Amino acid sequence: METPSDSVARLSRLVRILLLLTSALVLVVVVVVLTQLYGPASPPPLAPVAEANEGPPPSGSYHRPATAAPDTATLPHTAAGRQIRYGRDLIAHTARYLGPQGSVAHLTNGMNCQNCHLDAGTKGFANNYLAVAATYPKLRARSGTMVTTQMRVNDCLERSLNGRPLADSSREMRAIVAYINWLGHDIPKGKKVYGTGFTKLAYLPRAADPVIGKAVFAAKCQSCHGPHGEGKQLADGREYQYPPLWGKHSYNDGAGLYRVTNLARYVKAAMPFGAAFDHPQLTDAQAWDVAAFVNSQPRPHLNTPRDWPDISKKPVDHPFGPYTDSFSERQHKYGPYQPIEDAHPQLAKAK
Ligand code: HEC
Ligand code: HEC
């Protein structure tokens, strides 16, 4: 027969078990929440990457079948996930953080990285970042030195955004590099992905012509970029809706796009906005001539005395001498390029 004291003992045993179970549950919840918030910085799962579907990948490239663009919304809410999202935001809306009205620092001309690295650096042949994780640090002929991803980002900050560099240890640099590495982290070291770099564009048999290019600009570009290539700010004045193509708020003459071949290849695959490398909207000649026009207009100057320490490695279209040949600066800038390339067979590969 159960006495009252027996049932009290049973009850207290039950309460103890319940208490134990509850505290175990609380402990599990706390651990889960903590690992979500401060978990290890392991790379979050990578969503498939938007990429070239059509045409065979060039030999030697690592080709990943095209699917959807990588989406930072799929990242977990860990410290690592948040850092990558911040990096993406810095690429897409650089000016909001680092522009003349930036919330973190005032380092740049007001452009966004995404203005040139379309879709936050994921669009095929529109300057995407997919090759970076697998190919940096790398030897660059322009500097003649090994270049880290941070140095490369700062190159664009100082040239394409005509601004000042970020410290490697800054929260912003670490986030930008984390994002770029996340985009490319499953690409084997040393491999390139189809769709990185610029689209191919055959040389014209003549020089690219700024006068013809001016008419192309009026017909195909001016409606967005403005009659003086000045671009258009968003209503809040903190970021461009249409970025400037020349003038004091544009990239300087040390930037990659200041080379006419780079600009022509970029424009052919990406402009007018909405074009794609497999759906171009310009003929090759239009792309060359409009590039010649845009790069004939005034823009900030950058002193680059340390560029191309080995002048024999200057690309055919590098617009500043001295050269190892006797072609003029003008011909180097606008072409015709084939005779220059013929004089430097070793440069053909380095295009
Ligand atoms: C429909 C509007 C539109 C037209 C037309 C257009 N662009 Fe753009 N362009 C843009 C936008 C928007 C961006 C920035 C993209 C982004 O930030 O996602 C851009 C970016 C650029 C960039 C890189 C950033 C910069 O400012 O240097 C260049 C170069 C460029 N356009 C050249 C051209 C040329 C050349 C044409 C004409 C062949 C052209 N665009 C036509 C909207 C347009
Ligand atoms: C005005 C256009 C423009 C803007 C704006 C721009 N870039 Fe670039 N970027 C380029 C061009 C063009 C190249 C490649 C050509 C070259 O090598 O010179 C490049 C190359 C790079 C590379 C190397 C890619 C590779 O595969 O080797 C990185 C990384 C990079 N940019 C990061 C950035 C970041 C980060 C920003 C913003 C802070 C930025 N860029 C803004 C035009 C731009």
In angstroms, what is the span from residue 262 Cα to ligand 1's centroid?
A: 14
Residue 63 scores a pLDDT above 80: no
In angstroms, what is the span from residue 153 Cα to ligand 2's centroid?
A: 7
Distance CA 24, CA 19 (A): 9
Residue 179: pLDDT band (50, 70, 90) is very high
In angstroms, what is the span from residue 189 Cα to ligand 1's centroid?
A: 32
- Provide the 8-state DSSP code for 297: S
Whether 340 is in the pocket of ligand 2, judged by its Cβ within 6 Å, is: no
Quote the pLDDT of residue 187: 82
**Tens digit of each residue's pLDDT (9 = 90 or more) over 140-150:** 999 999 999 99
Residue 157 scores a pLDDT above 90: yes
> Looking at residues 330-343, what average pLDDT do you find?
96
Whether 161 is in the pocket of ligand 2, judged by its Cβ within 6 Å, is: yes
The CATH fold assigned to 61-193 is: Cytochrome Bc1 Complex; Chain D, domain 2 (1.10.760)
Identify the sign of the CA torsion 339, 343, 344, 348: positive
Q: Classify 348 as helix, strand or coil.
A: helix
Whether 270 is in the pocket of ligand 2, judged by its Cβ within 6 Å, is: no
Residue 318 scores a pLDDT above 80: yes
Whether 264 is in the pocket of ligand 2, judged by its Cβ within 6 Å, is: no
How do 232-233 and 61-62 pair as beta strands?
A: unpaired
Q: Which residue, by CA, sits nearest to atom 11 of ligand 1? A: 242
In angstroms, what is the span from residue 270 Cα to ligand 1's centroid?
A: 8
Q: Classify 263 as helix, strand or coil.
A: helix
Whether 252 is in the pocket of ligand 1, judged by its Cβ within 6 Å, is: no
Q: Classify 240 as helix, strand or coil.
A: strand
Whether 72 is in the pocket of ligand 2, judged by its Cβ within 6 Å, is: no
Residue 56: pLDDT band (50, 70, 90) is low
Range of weakest confidence among 14-18, 26-30, 116-120, 196-200: 26-30
Going from N- to C-terminal start, the domains of the chain cover: 61-193, 210-350
Compute how many other C-beta atoms are within 10 angstroms of the C-beta atom of residue 122.
22
Residue 28 scores a pLDDT above 50: yes
Residue 263's nearest CA partner among 281, 286, 279 is 286
User: Atom of ligand 2 at shortest distance to CA of 176?
Assistant: 35
- HSE-CB for 115 with a 13 A CA cutoff: 26
Q: Which residue has the higher pLDDT, 284 or 50?
A: 284
Residue 32: pLDDT band (50, 70, 90) is low
Residue 33: pLDDT band (50, 70, 90) is low
Interior angle at CA 212, CA 211 and CA 216, nearest 5: 120
61-193 and 210-350 agree in CATH topology: yes
Range of weakest confidence among 14-23, 65-74, 183-192: 65-74
Instruction: Write the CATH number of the domain with boundaries 210-350.
Output: 1.10.760.10
Whether 127 is in the pocket of ligand 2, judged by its Cβ within 6 Å, is: yes
Whether 95 is in the pocket of ligand 1, judged by its Cβ within 6 Å, is: no
Question: CB-based burial of residue 313 (10 Å sphere; 0-12 exposed, 13-18 middle, 19+ buried)?
Answer: middle
- Ligand index nearest the alpha carbon of residue 187: 2
Whether 131 is in the pocket of ligand 2, judged by its Cβ within 6 Å, is: yes
Residue 235: pLDDT band (50, 70, 90) is very high
Distance CA 150, CA 218 (A): 38
Quote the pLDDT of residue 62: 52
Residue 50: pLDDT band (50, 70, 90) is very low
CB 260 within 8 A of CB 289: no
Q: pTM (2 decimals)?
A: 0.86
